Amino acid sequence: MEQYIIKGGHPLVGEVEIGGAKNAALAILAAAIMTDETVTIDNLPDVNDINVLLDAIAGIGANVYRVDRHTVKINGKSITDVDIEYDYIKKIRASYYLLGALLGKYKRAEVALPGGCNIGSRPIDQHLKGFRALGAEVDIEHGKIMAEAERLTGKHIYFDVVSVGATINVMMAATMAEGITILENVAKEPHVVDVANFLNSMGANIRGAGTDVIKIRGVQRLHGTEYSVNPDQIEAGTFMFAAAATKGDVTVLNVIPKHLEATIAKLVEIGCEVEEFDDAVRVVSKGDLTSTHVKTLPYPGFPTDMQPQIGVTLALCKGTSTITESIFENRFKYLDELARMGANVKVESNSATIEGVEKFSGARVSAPDLRAGAALCIAGLATDGITIVDDIVYIQRGYERFEEKLRGLGGVIEKVETERDIQKFKLKVS
């Protein structure tokens, strides 16, 4: 079982290159099968979730060619099957994007109910509502979602809750529906805009992505394209909070600063110096950081995917901070692990009160999900002692070469598999 072992106490200093956004890339890969022509996608992150989805796409007959670690060519002309096997899907949540893509192009799709991180209920009722509104019959049987339509027709659809997944999924299906679809109360996240831009580069007619209302004029066919995925604002934010927690000085490269506004605002609030450039952001953490209050909200609010990273940082800030989690109810599981490292935290329903401590102590902790896993690594880097993080498979689902990038900033972290590896590491750093 792979683990991370970390010797803390070293401020992170230097520059780190941020990869493509996992959440955008997953939807873009699914959308790539909506044409019979070849699509080239680059700036893909080389992480487990991406590789699983590419296997699933190849599994239904698409031609998938890896040009290099970050570039892939996909041609969906040879797709023969619209039934996505469960083995692939149980591993990742974003598999549901294949529903919208296959339904749009082939008017039929069968996809197993998705898996992914256990961070609370993420119902897909809004997805299904959208597909039904476009004219599809949708059933759930034997753990599978089955959608079929003779034809898809544009509709005016109002989402009951703001959902990134539903916005993207229904947008994909509507791209090839007849007539005009208007989607209201939609998600405005950067990856929604990225997917819309990608579809438009294939000949779709989508307007308004990034606002409250998206208008889609259906087209009969889509064509090939070359497209580069947006940088990952969550990966960037993770390294920015790592700089804050370890009293470091880190510049994240290859980012869109506008996408990081909520993260930057909180870093400034707690006392960090933040410098913005055209495609980079520098975070400097000196002296004592102070407490603040955070509430997670849909974009442009503070992202739920950054909540564990700021939680770890606030646990080292002077004073009392509160975090209100308004998106996923199970997002606080990491705080139990953080308490083992000496954090002073109290959770009541969807709110956490964090009393800042001077420092953490090293401990053995377990990653409950992807972002929490990364946050516990940050905690380990901010201690004086040695921390072991179990279940790092979650972290590898969404961060490329995580330990290598941290080492590049001066972090002392290694991936280990055996007790012997752990002892070797301890001898080396003692």
Tens digit of pLDDT for each residue in 27-66?
999 999 999 999 999 999 999 889 989 998 998 999 999 9
For residue 320, is pLDDT > 60? Answer: yes
**DSSP class per residue in 201-224:** HTT-EEE-BTBSEEEEE--S----
pLDDT at 90: 66
Question: For residues 382 and 360, what is the distance between their CA atoms, to the nearest angstrom?
Answer: 7
- Close Cβ partners of 425 (under 8 Å, ≥ 6 residues apart): 5, 7, 414, 416
The mean pLDDT of 327-346, rounded to a whole number, is 93
For residue 116, is pLDDT > 70? Answer: no
For residue 194, is pLDDT > 90? Answer: yes
For residue 117, is pLDDT > 60? Answer: no
Last residue of a domain, one of 228, 256, 276: 228
Q: How many domains does the chain fold into?
A: 2
Residues 335 and 214 in one domain: no
pLDDT at 119: 44
Going from the C-alpha of 60 to that of each of 54, 101, 211, the distances in angstroms are 10, 13, 34
Residues 249 and 200 in one domain: no
Tens digit of pLDDT for each residue in 368-397?
999 999 999 999 999 989 999 999 999 998
For residue 93, the enclosing domain spans 22-228
194's tokens: 């990225």
Residues 196 and 260 in one domain: no
Residues 248 and 322 in one domain: yes
* 117, 272, 317, 377: the active-site residue: 117
117 catalytically annotated: yes
Question: For residues 405 and 375, what is the distance between their CA atoms, to the nearest angstrom?
Answer: 15
The mean pLDDT of 238-254, rounded to a whole number, is 98
Residues 201 and 261 in one domain: no
Last residue of a domain, one of 206, 228, 250: 228
Query: The dihedral of CA 255, 261, 267, 268: what is its sign?
Result: positive
For residue 137, is pLDDT > 60? Answer: yes
Residues 224 and 121 in one domain: yes
CATH code of the domain containing 376: 3.65.10.10
**Is 182 or 95 the better-scoring residue by pLDDT?**
182
Angle between helix 190-201 and 164-175 (nearest 10)? 10
Residues 145 and 282 in one domain: no
For residue 113, is pLDDT > 80? Answer: no
**Is 92 or 96 the better-scoring residue by pLDDT?**
96
Q: What is the mean pLDDT of the chain?
A: 94
Residues 181 and 69 in one domain: yes
Residues 266 and 243 in one domain: yes
The mean pLDDT of 161-174, rounded to a whole number, is 96
The mean pLDDT of 244-262, rounded to a whole number, is 98
The mean pLDDT of 133-143, rounded to a whole number, is 91
Residues 64 and 191 in one domain: yes
Last residue of a domain, one of 202, 228, 254: 228
The mean pLDDT of 356-362, rounded to a whole number, is 95
Residues 91 and 169 in one domain: yes
**Is 89 or 156 the better-scoring residue by pLDDT?**
156
Residues 199 and 258 in one domain: no
Q: Are 176 and 105 a contacting pair, CB within 8 Å?
A: yes
